[in-house]
Amino acid sequence: MTPDEIAENLARLRDAGARLKRRPIGEVLDVLGTVLERWRDPDSIWRRDLEERLPAATGFTAPMVGEGLRRALGDWTSDALRELAIRELGPIDRTDPASDRQISGFDTTAVLLAGSIPMPSLLALIAPLALRSPVLAKAASRDPLTPHLVAQSIAEADAELGRCIRVVDFAAANEDCTRALLEADCICATGSDATIATLQSLTRPPRRLVVDGHRLSIAAVVPPASAERRSELAERLAIDIALWDQLGCLSPIAVFAVDPEPAHAAALAEAIAVALANAEANWPRGSIDASAAHEIAQQRAEAELRRAAGRAVAIHASDATAWTVIVEDGPAPRPAPLHRFIRVVPVPDPGRLLEAIQPLAAHLAAVAIEGFGEGTAGLARTLASLGASRVCAPGSLQSPPLDWRHAGRGVLAPLARFSDIEAIA
């Protein structure tokens, strides 16, 4: 791929977009709804193709991919897409050219994908199209498969819409190609904070830049007293941790166990360890590189040494690096090696919980909470005010609704141009 080829793609997309804009937005939403339904259907060729090929492309295991997609796409229906559009854009007829409040997409939207989890890619590609903005997507190096399949599935559903999406592959370090891509009118990008900073510096105004940097999620629970309920909670937390091998921004990096008695946190950690071992049996973790394995081994060894020094630290772990549960003796921030490595942090009360979370607030994505009884609503509101864009129950972190306002923004609104036409004499 060369910068000239990217420029040529953008030019073709502009032409295709001009034709797309003549179609009613409701009709486009219907097509995209059909596409979503096909991705929901475990027997569709697209879903089967993705489940079959994603493991080789990303290193995830096939059972994990199957379970992750099943849980994530279950509620991503055609109706959910239409409701999302109405929620963020208002009544669909407002996009009628005759309306006094018009909504449109940009002439072109560039989408720079990151990571290896397919659902964010699916949504990132559909969202601009829902606004009738043609999309030029750069595939992530860790998942070169999903955007191509999504583009093909759209083309199969509607040839004209298919001409409004193109996927290009080039190395992230190729600055010339990146600059060419950033000539699009609207740019959506996810990635590391460093990547986002680079993109911001390379983007020429006036362009809409919609970026998402690093995010993390956590869980905060009151450990149940009964062993049965503890196991049940641990099973749900293990799903949140294990799916997508903890590589997404919705994967919790720590479970805060809110209880004045640290032994209850230790008991919960044991239950999570059992649940993660079960998860490994059902949905094995994928392959990891030496660097990731090294970091896990390093963090385990550090915890061993803290325990040897007499601190109240406990370690539950698989023989190799498949899963790890560390019970810490305090909320000091520590590295998160991911790949199914979770720290259980005891905190005595909700007040101390909020103190412990405060340093993470600016990067919070979601918080799973449970067991706070009458305090649940108040805690959820406090977490929201801290910056969490989603507060949910354990076990549902990896199944965000289609209309989750990631990073506190909307899904469609940030990509839209709103125009108000006032009464003129």
Partner 1 sequence: MSADPRRADIDRRILEWMREPRWRYSEKRFEELALELFAFQFEHCEIYRRFCDGRNQTPSNVESWRQIPAVPTSALKEVELRCFPASETVHRFRTSGTSTDVRGTLFLDTLELYEASLLPTFRRFVFPEFLLPEDRAPIRVLAPSPSEQPDSSLSHMFGVVLDALGEQGSDFDVENGELLFDRLLTVLVESAASEMPITLCGTAFAFVHLIDHMSERGVLIGLPSASRIMETGGFKGRSREVPRAELYAELKRVLGISAERIVNQYGMTELGSQFYDSVICGPSEPRRKLGPPWARVVIVDPETGHEAASGQVGSIVVVDLANTGSVLALRTGDLGRAILDGFEVIGREPGADSRGCSIGADELLERNSP
CA distance 136 to 114: 14
Closest contact distance (angstroms) between CB of 397 and partner 1 is: 12
Which x/- pattern, by CB under 8 A, does the window 139-168 give for partner 1?
Answer: -xxx--------------------------
Q: 127: which residues sit within 8 A by CB, 6+ positions away?
A: 188, 411, 412, 415
Binding mask 246-285 for partner 1 (x = CB under 8 A): xxxx-x-xx-------------------------------
Q: Which residue has the tokens 């412990």?
A: 356
| Cβ(370)–Cβ(221) below 8 Å | yes
Which strand (E) or helix (H) includes residue 139? none
Please return the burial class of 171, using the count of CB atoms within 10 Å of its CB with bins 0-12, 13-18 and 19+. exposed
Instruction: Collapse the DSSP code of 317 into the 3-class scheme (helix H, G, I; strand E, B; otherwise coil) and give the result.
Output: strand
Residue 354 in contact with partner 1, rule: CB under 8 A: no
Which of 42-50, 175-183, 221-229, 307-315 is the region at the interface with partner 1 (rule: CB under 8 A)? 307-315
Q: Pick from 62, 1, 74, 61: which is nearest to 398 by CA?
A: 74
Burial of 397 (0-12, 13-18, 19+ CB in 10 A): buried
360 touches partner 1 by CB under 8 A: yes
Cβ contact 126:32 at 8 Å? yes
Per CB under 8 A, 398 contacts partner 1: no
Residue range at the interface with partner 1 (CB under 8 A); choices 42-50, 82-90, 109-117, 144-152: 109-117
Judge contact between 276 and 325, C-beta under 8 A.
Answer: yes
- Minimum distance from residue 411 beta carbon to partner 1 (Å): 16
The gap from C-alpha 249 to its chain's centroid, in whole angstroms, comes to: 5
Q: Tell me whether residue 61 or residue 195 sits nearer to partner 1 (CB atom).
A: 195
DSSP 8-state secondary structure symbol assigned to residue 204: P
- How near is the Cβ of 264 to partner 1 at its closest, in Å? 23
Query: Minimum CB separation from partner 1 for residue 250, in Å?
Result: 9
Query: Should residue 321 be labelled a site residue for partner 1 when binding is judged by CB under 8 A?
Result: yes
Closest CB 256 distance from partner 1, rounded Å: 12
| Interaction of residue 92 with partner 1, rule CB under 8 A | no
Contact flag: residue 328 with partner 1 (CB under 8 A): no
Contact residues: partner 1, CB under 8 A: 114-117, 140-142, 172, 190-195, 212-217, 244, 246-249, 251, 253-254, 289-294, 296-298, 301-302, 304-310, 320-321, 333-338, 359-360, 362-363
